[in-house]
Structure 1
Amino acid sequence: MAQEVHADFADNASATAAADVPPAHHDQPLRHVSRDGVDYTLIGTAHVSRASADAVRELAASGRFDAIAVELCQARYDALTAERKWTDLDLYKIIRDGKAGLVMANLALSAYQRRIAEQFGIEPGAEMRAAAVTAKEQDLPLQLVDRDLATTLRRSYASVPWYKRLYLMAGLALGMVSSEEIDEEAIEKLKEGDILESTFTEFAEHSPELYEALISERDRYMAACLREQNADAAGRRVLVVIGAGHMEGLARHLADDGSDPAAQREQLAAIPPRARWPRLIPWAIMVLILTGFYIGFSRSPELGWQLVFIWVAINGGLAALGALVARGHPLTVLSAVVAAPITSLNPTIAAGMVTGLVESWLRKPRVADLENLRFDITTLKGWFRNPATRILLVFFLSNLGSAIGTWVAGFRIFGELS
């Protein structure tokens, strides 16, 4: 099977090819890949860039393509092409289903993109929106080829050791609240292939697990989707709009990967099973604490009740402190005191689930609060001010307080017994 990759930038293309390419995207990185009779033109973009959006719009409307593929999943496409319905956000259901952490990560990513976009007066993902809108105007099929964002976040989180996950959360938080401005010229330069390759190589050296989940896996996933969606379509010309960081990897896998595309896609979309031993830790803690209580009461009722008091005061107190720092309702803080010592002995439920549900019941966000989410998430003050994000902070910080309290109280209990 003949396969060919032409690794040419638009400004280095032949005179004939250049004549067919609108001038607005001469500075945008392009790759041309032929596979199974289908001609793919890959254009690398910066996700917050007027030049990228203009280039995609002109190229998509050039009449040279039979289909347009974009680096979007269905959820991101829906959010990008329609007004985001923040009023549909059901925080009660989110907390009940254990998805509060995932929602916080999504909001933090959105905040980072919006903060950059506000500097340059362009919406995040404008080039993807331009591709989708132009495809509709030109009556061209639109192919969504990226992996679901939630799956990518879960696989990224699962791929790194527990201690490196702290860097992930810290990075999201810092990206959300940082006031440092980013030069648009610097963003444009990121589209130069050699700079991108060196940047990601350095990134991989520091965290190869994250590079695999965030970049390499998605390169393979998108290549598989393109092959699968364009099977038996010899002669089709497809414009592929992707972030410049995926240019090299996607071109390589699209040209050379010989695996079955459907099987490859399903494999990369699967959520890896969690290791069993971390699940045993909460149960082991429960057994140890209850054993400590048993030993204490067997020695004397006074010692037993003293240990119970230590457990309730430290565990409940730190969980309540977390809810208080999150500016939770007084009754939410009280619920943390009551719930944390109990939930810490029940691995099936977390203290944050109780406090989050109580806060959402006591201070149900108004429609105006949900509509203001996209603005409030860009500042730390906004996270604490908006009732919707405050509920998530109550969930997170009371959970954190209870977790710390569990270890502190546990060591204190066995210190009293020694």
Structure 2
Amino acid sequence: MSAPLPEEPIQEAQVGSTQITLLGTAHVSQASADKVAELLGPDGLEVDAVAVELCGSRAQSMTDPAALARLDLFAVIRQRRVYMVAASLALGAYQQRIADQFGIEPGAEQRVAMRLAQARRLPLLLIDRELGVTLRRAAHNIGFFQRLNLFSGLLAGLLTREKVTEEEVEYLKQGDILETAFAEFAQDRASLYKPLITERDQYMAARLRQEAEQQGYRRILAVVGAGHLKGLSEQLEQDAESPESTIAALDQVPPPSRFWRLFPWALVVVILGVFAYGFTRSAALGWNMVADWVLINGGLSALGAALAAAHPLTVLGAFCAAPLTSLNPTIGAGMVAGALELWLRRPSVGDFGSLRDDVTSLRGWWRNRVSRVLLVFIFSTLGSAVGTYLAGFRIIDRLVT
């Protein structure tokens, strides 16, 4: 285990005519929040702007707790953002567990920086990359099964009521809650380190360069996690390409490989071809294969919906939808089941209001109607995915026996 870092390290960097003061903080330290208050207090630094290690969505969640009440669940389902929303909620549950253990809300120093910047009427610069982009780039860096392990481990591990371990505390003292939360469940941390840490160092350096060049600030105070201090300082010292091109490149989500784009359609062609061949052998064989497909695929998707405590009609809808949606890669069983559950059990204002507290416990995910819709989508999708392969093996086995 690494030795604890010195409290609140400070480094200076020069970008053109702009002096940038980098304050390294620990997200679970009251001392870090106090240091920010000192630097932005009456006897603190003379700065023209304050930068924080936040993206727009994370800043909004801090300053506008009611934002979740405006969440459009239909849009989340339609745009297939369920996994990102679920991961964000799980991360929030992890942060709440830390708050309960240490008596300080993670990111308290960022809140102080935002509050004092507003009080002093200083521009507030949000320099971190959007959380959703970071998560998608991280997922792209690992294989399917490692991705599944990461997501399931995130949900299971972050929702436990056990105290944060000593090793996790040391990571948090170094100031990056994303790396602490996600790297614990990755078999290969190097594949996650780049999108979670290195790329964000590059992104934040580019954002600081961009603001310095465009606005001509004389001095900026940047409040960042201590784990980013060294990398960010090195990035600012380098002769980098234009900030705009760096930001654009790091904001791109790599598309899936050509193989994975074509694979679902190829699978559909194979399944339909097997059905057709079965019917040419005999009508009875063909209908038996169809029955296997419907019962296995639909049954497992319905089982997933049932495990998520879905409405009985949602379970029935998952059973009926899965055999058909598995033959149409543009729509999934989870989209149908999630939309049905949302229609049958529309969340109340109270569900949205209590969502953050409810998702801190495993039982709360099932109790709250908002999070339960997400679970219905995820479980019915996984059930259909498993059912597609098991049913495929079953109908092929009928042909060869």
Residues 62-112 of structure 1: CA deviation (Å, up to 9, x unaligned): 143221111111221122122232221221221112111111111111111
User: Which residue matches 2:36?
Assistant: 56
Checking the alignment, whether the CA contact within 8 Å between 1:108 and 1:377 is kept in structure 2 is yes
Residue 313, structure 1, aligned to residue 295, structure 2: yes
Residue 35, structure 1, aligned to residue 37, structure 2: no
Whole-angstrom distance in 1 between the partners of 2:229 and 2:167 = 20
Residue 80, structure 1, aligned to residue 62, structure 2: yes
Whole-angstrom distance in 1 between the partners of 2:174 and 2:392 = 54
Name the amino acid aligned to 1:398. Answer: S
Name the amino acid aligned to 2:37. Answer: R
Whole-angstrom distance in 1 between the partners of 2:135 and 2:215 = 33
Name the amino acid aligned to 1:38. Answer: T
User: Which residue matches 1:333?
Assistant: 315
User: Which residue matches 1:155?
Assistant: 137
Whole-angstrom distance in 1 between the partners of 2:259 and 2:318 = 28
User: Using a 3 Å threshold, how does the CA distance of structure 1 residues 255 and 202 change in structure 2: closer, same or farther?
Assistant: farther
Residues 304-328 of structure 1: CA deviation (Å, up to 9, x unaligned): 1111100000000000000000000
TM-score (norm 1): 0.88
Name the amino acid aligned to 1:51. Answer: A
Which of the pair has more CA radius of gyration?
1
Identity, % of aligned positions: 51
Whole-angstrom distance in 2 between the partners of 1:203 and 1:309 = 39
Whole-angstrom distance in 2 between the partners of 1:233 and 1:95 = 40
Checking the alignment, whether the CA contact within 8 Å between 1:67 and 1:238 is kept in structure 2 is yes
Checking the alignment, whether the CA contact within 8 Å between 2:160 and 2:362 is kept in structure 1 is no
User: Using a 3 Å threshold, how does the CA distance of structure 1 residues 225 and 148 change in structure 2: closer, same or farther?
Assistant: same
Tell me, which stretches of 5 or more residues in structure 2 are unaligned? none
2:65 counterpart SS class: coil
Whole-angstrom distance in 1 between the partners of 2:279 and 2:356 = 53
State which drifts further: 392-401 or 180-189: 180-189
User: Which residue matches 1:18?
Assistant: none
Residues 120-163 of structure 1: CA deviation (Å, up to 9, x unaligned): 33223211111011011112121111111111111111122223
User: Using a 3 Å threshold, how does the CA distance of structure 1 residues 243 and 252 change in structure 2: closer, same or farther?
Assistant: same
Residues 12-51 of structure 1: CA deviation (Å, up to 9, x unaligned): xxxxxxxxxxxxxxx3111111221221111111223222
Checking the alignment, whether the CA contact within 8 Å between 1:343 and 1:351 is kept in structure 2 is yes
Counterpart pick for 1:44 among 8, 24, 47: 24
Name the amino acid aligned to 1:219. Answer: D
Whole-angstrom distance in 2 between the partners of 1:247 and 1:123 = 21
RMSD: 2.6
User: Using a 3 Å threshold, how does the CA distance of structure 1 residues 185 and 347 change in structure 2: closer, same or farther?
Assistant: closer
Residue 210, structure 1, aligned to residue 180, structure 2: no
Whole-angstrom distance in 1 between the partners of 2:170 and 2:47 = 25
* Counterpart mapping for 1:9-408 below 5 A: 27-61=7-41, 62-182=44-164, 187=169, 191=173, 206-231=188-213, 236-408=218-390
Residues 248-272 of structure 1: CA deviation (Å, up to 9, x unaligned): 1000001114221111111111121
Number of aligned residue pairs: 390
Checking the alignment, whether the CA contact within 8 Å between 2:268 and 2:328 is kept in structure 1 is yes
Name the amino acid aligned to 1:82. Answer: D
Whole-angstrom distance in 1 between the partners of 2:166 and 2:31 = 10
Checking the alignment, whether the CA contact within 8 Å between 1:322 and 1:401 is kept in structure 2 is yes
Tell me, which stretches of 5 or more residues in structure 1 are unaligned? 1-8, 12-26
Whole-angstrom distance in 2 between the partners of 1:312 and 1:233 = 62
1:164 counterpart SS class: helix
Whole-angstrom distance in 2 between the partners of 1:162 and 1:181 = 30
Checking the alignment, whether the CA contact within 8 Å between 2:5 and 2:173 is kept in structure 1 is no
State which drifts further: 180-189 or 407-416: 180-189
User: Using a 3 Å threshold, how does the CA distance of structure 1 residues 49 and 86 change in structure 2: closer, same or farther?
Assistant: same
How much has 1:170 moved relative to structure 2? 2.9
TM-score (norm 2): 0.91
Name the amino acid aligned to 2:370. Answer: A
How much has 1:119 moved relative to structure 2? 2.0
Whole-angstrom distance in 1 between the partners of 2:173 and 2:117 = 24
Checking the alignment, whether the CA contact within 8 Å between 2:302 and 2:319 is kept in structure 1 is yes
How much has 1:417 moved relative to structure 2? 0.3
2:97 counterpart SS class: helix
Residues 371-400 of structure 1: CA deviation (Å, up to 9, x unaligned): 110101111111011111111101000011
